[in-house]
Structure 1
Amino acid sequence: MKPYIIIIPLLIYAQLSIAQNIQRLRAEIQHGFIISHASDLKPVSDNRPTGFHVSWQRMGLGQNHWEICNCFYYIGAQFSWLSFGDRDILGDAYTLAGTFEPVLWRQNQWSLTLNSGIGATWLTKVHHPENNPLNNFFSSRFSFLLYVAPAIEYRFSEKWSGRLSANYNHISNGGRKQPNRGMNYPQVGVGLNYYLNREPLPVYERQHPGNEYLVWMESGFTTRKVDDENNRKPSISLVGGVKRAFSAFNGLGFGAEYNHDFSMVDESGDYGKHLLAPFISHHFIFGKFDFSQRMSWYAYRPEQLSSHKFYQRYVLTYNIYSGLRMGFSLKSHGHVATNLDFRMGWDF
């Protein structure tokens, strides 16, 4: 009987573990167009990127999972293949990404989700001054994909659901190598979800983030290339701001960012430039996650950035412990990504 004393509890635990989550597989095809955000990109922008992806996702049903996002959400992994429409100049992209997909609304068989992801991309064609001079989108075979995709789903059986999505994708190398114009390409996707198991969703009370004003501080760190030998210098940011939630998922704020960029050279040949930029921000608040979009104005900038008056910063952070937040951000001038950095902050 001793083996059964051990095996039976393990089987019960396994059943309870399965019962506490929903798992599904997805296959989706996507088709779209390339946004031409500069004159030198127009010759190769008249292409239609087409691809497909397969993914595995899991939704935890416990209250501890609900409290992370203040909603039910899927988290998983996705592999995708994409043809940019010109095999000789733009080539293909192969991507492995992590996904996060909260459920924003559901009614009977219908649901609305917001899928997002970040991953590593391998590009088969990149810029070369002699062999491939027209591809100014990419210069590094190893790059990064960021995407967001609202989707409407309809469940037509216990195991199957259909899906229609609108995808906005961005690929760049994060400023590691030039030229780094990056590519933005919207797509429409049609897909199918197959559920490995289904469970009824429990009912939990949604916690409102509160209407009071919240003061916060944040720091950022990255390194930037300074020469053709791939030598790099640090870029450090200090940020302060105020934000206020006005619904369960949305908030507004303002603040200022100071940046000391050691990769920029001054007139004397020394490295180190100061940048100062106030900003306004919008926040998507999903429990412990905060995804902010900041529009910043250069109040002080070096000569190297004289052609830019504004920049955007997209920041995703997670509250790991009692106000301490960690995450990453992407800075861009218009459609051109400048750099990715690591972020750490504190909500007071």
Structure 2
Amino acid sequence: MAFGNSFMRILKSGFVLYSLLLLSLPLFSVNDGSQSDDRGVIRLNLNINHGRMTPHYTLQAALNEDRITGLDISSIFLNKNEISLQNTVLGIGYFFSNLGNNEVYGYVHSAYLGMWFPLLTRGIPVQLKLGFGPGYVTQRHHPINNPLNRALGSHLNAYGQITLTGNVPLIRDKWLLRTGISFNHVSNGLIVAPNQGINTLAFHAGFDLDTGISHSGAMLVGRRQYSPGRQSFNISIASGIKQVDEYTGKQIIASSLILDYGYMLLPALNTGLGVGFYYNDTWAYPRFNSSLDEDNPPFPFQSALHLVLELEKKPLAVVLNPGFYIYRPTDEIPWFTGRLGFRYYFRNNISLMFGIKHHWFALADYFEWGVGYRFLR
């Protein structure tokens, strides 16, 4: 009953509907460059998830009582010159799941923007799916009513998904059985404390609903996709807000300068190296620095090297930047860092960026909002 009441309450609020509508707006500019009036097809997918929360704090491990059960409904958009599983494609989705303890952490509802990237295209095709969007959680931290919830300090959060899926064609090659594994993350990026974040790992299985598209054949390239061999240099600046003291509400502003070099190995994959320079005064506060000398706080600047992994389907790109610090003024800062986010490109050069800077993939540092410019060769 609690599951059903929670589900209906969020749907009636309009959160999912409005979020899906907003996320779908950039997709209207995605096409194959053809002048034909044939706009292609839409493919719907339904997946059921089952797994466990993966705690990264002692308190979370103690509260990890309920198995994860979730629902993932997504829709991908295909041009007529593209074959569903052989191209990088864009879409939107809705994700619903519990979070490991129904009473303390509740449930998450998310409307996300997704990108499906082919890893293997023959035999049993395998896709990497990356999703990112707003998420609403039904239970947040409250010092009196829900003090054990140190993971989620607000109802509104960000939701991220990394999924590997194998696809088995069925019934004359028109229907698909999808099965694989998903990693899900819910966090508000420490805009509101406390914010340990929650990670879940789940197996999933489901079906595509047929639209008459065959799934056999070699990998095809959309007409407007770049050819391999293109080089790029990207400069981005971003900033974010994080709460460093939940009792006083103290917030600080962090900022990033990101320099990336990319080389297009495949029609949708840029890879290379980059460096980030960060102003982040988090470790000048006792909550984050157990060895803090308040008379001599650590220098607020850090720098890190990272890999450039960018999956692009114009005008959108998913950004993955796993890396490590080359300068950190205190050992309290985890040495592994990175970001996961999106860029939206205007005229192939100017970009808007939104992402989450993290440590060890599981610990949110802050949300980054920024702009950038890309030089192409």
- Does the Cα contact within 8 Å between 1:111 and 1:153 map onto a contact in 2? yes
- Does the Cα contact within 8 Å between 2:193 and 2:243 map onto a contact in 1? no
**Which residue matches 1:292?**
320
TM-score when normalising by structure 2: 0.72
**Which residue matches 2:79?**
60
Q: Which structure has the highest strand share of the two? A: 1
CA RMSD of aligned residues (A): 3.4
**Which residue matches 2:111?**
96
**Which residue matches 1:13?**
none
**Which residue matches 1:22?**
41
Counterpart of 2:236 (choices 197, 206, 218) is 218
- Does the Cα contact within 8 Å between 2:319 and 2:339 map onto a contact in 1? no
**Which residue matches 1:338?**
365
Q: Mind listing any 5+ residue stretches in structure 1 that lack a counterpart?
A: 1-15
Deviation at 1:162, TM superposition (A): 1.0
Deviation at 1:147, TM superposition (A): 0.3
Within 5 Å, give how 1:300-315 maps onto structure 2: 300-301=328-329, 306-315=332-341
**Which residue matches 1:238?**
257
**Which residue matches 1:137?**
151
- Does the Cα contact within 8 Å between 1:61 and 1:72 map onto a contact in 2? no
- Does the Cα contact within 8 Å between 2:162 and 2:182 map onto a contact in 1? yes
- For residues 45 and 341 of structure 1, what CA distance do their matches in structure 2 show? 30
Amino acid at match of 1:223: I
- For residues 119 and 324 of structure 1, what CA distance do their matches in structure 2 show? 22
Counterpart of 1:114 (choices 128, 134, 139) is 128
Does residue 347 of the first structure (1) align with residue 374 of the second (2)? yes
Greater alpha carbon shift after TM alignment, 137-146 vs 156-165: 156-165
Deviation at 1:94, TM superposition (A): 1.9
- The secondary structure found in structure 2 opposite 1:155 is strand
Q: Mind listing any 5+ residue stretches in structure 2 that lack a counterpart?
A: 1-35, 286-292
Deviation at 1:314, TM superposition (A): 2.6
- Does the Cα contact within 8 Å between 2:90 and 2:313 map onto a contact in 1? no
Note closer, same or farther for the CA distance 1:256–1:24 as it changes in structure 2 (3 Å cut). Answer: closer
- Does the Cα contact within 8 Å between 1:160 and 1:193 map onto a contact in 2? yes
- For residues 58 and 135 of structure 1, what CA distance do their matches in structure 2 show? 38
- The secondary structure found in structure 2 opposite 1:41 is helix
- C-alpha offsets along residues 42-63 of structure 1, whole Å, 9 cap, x if unaligned? 2013542111122333212358
Greater alpha carbon shift after TM alignment, 183-192 vs 133-142: 133-142
Amino acid at match of 2:104: I
- For residues 285 and 98 of structure 1, what CA distance do their matches in structure 2 show? 13
- For residues 161 and 103 of structure 1, what CA distance do their matches in structure 2 show? 15
- Does the Cα contact within 8 Å between 2:95 and 2:109 map onto a contact in 1? yes
Structure of larger gyration radius:
1
Deviation at 1:232, TM superposition (A): 4.6
**Which residue matches 2:303?**
277
- Give the fraction of aligned pairs with identical amino acids, expressed as a percent: 18
- Does the Cα contact within 8 Å between 1:260 and 1:273 map onto a contact in 2? no
**Which residue matches 2:22?**
none
Within 5 Å, give how 1:81-92 maps onto structure 2: 81-92=96-107
**Which residue matches 1:5?**
none
Amino acid at match of 1:192: F
- Does the Cα contact within 8 Å between 2:196 and 2:363 map onto a contact in 1? yes
Deviation at 1:265, TM superposition (A): 6.1
- Does the Cα contact within 8 Å between 1:94 and 1:123 map onto a contact in 2? yes
- The secondary structure found in structure 2 opposite 1:117 is strand
- Does the Cα contact within 8 Å between 1:275 and 1:298 map onto a contact in 2? no
- For residues 245 and 230 of structure 1, what CA distance do their matches in structure 2 show? 44
**Which residue matches 2:181?**
166
Deviation at 1:237, TM superposition (A): 1.6
Deviation at 1:190, TM superposition (A): 0.5
- C-alpha offsets along residues 98-119 of structure 1, whole Å, 9 cap, x if unaligned? 22223444337x4322222112
**Which residue matches 2:53?**
34
Note closer, same or farther for the CA distance 1:336–1:264 as it changes in structure 2 (3 Å cut). Answer: closer
Note closer, same or farther for the CA distance 1:285–1:145 as it changes in structure 2 (3 Å cut). Answer: closer
TM-score when normalising by structure 1: 0.78
Note closer, same or farther for the CA distance 1:256–1:25 as it changes in structure 2 (3 Å cut). Answer: closer
Note closer, same or farther for the CA distance 1:125–1:337 as it changes in structure 2 (3 Å cut). Answer: same
- For residues 203 and 183 of structure 1, what CA distance do their matches in structure 2 show? 37
Does residue 316 of the first structure (1) align with residue 342 of the second (2)? yes
- The secondary structure found in structure 2 opposite 1:180 is coil
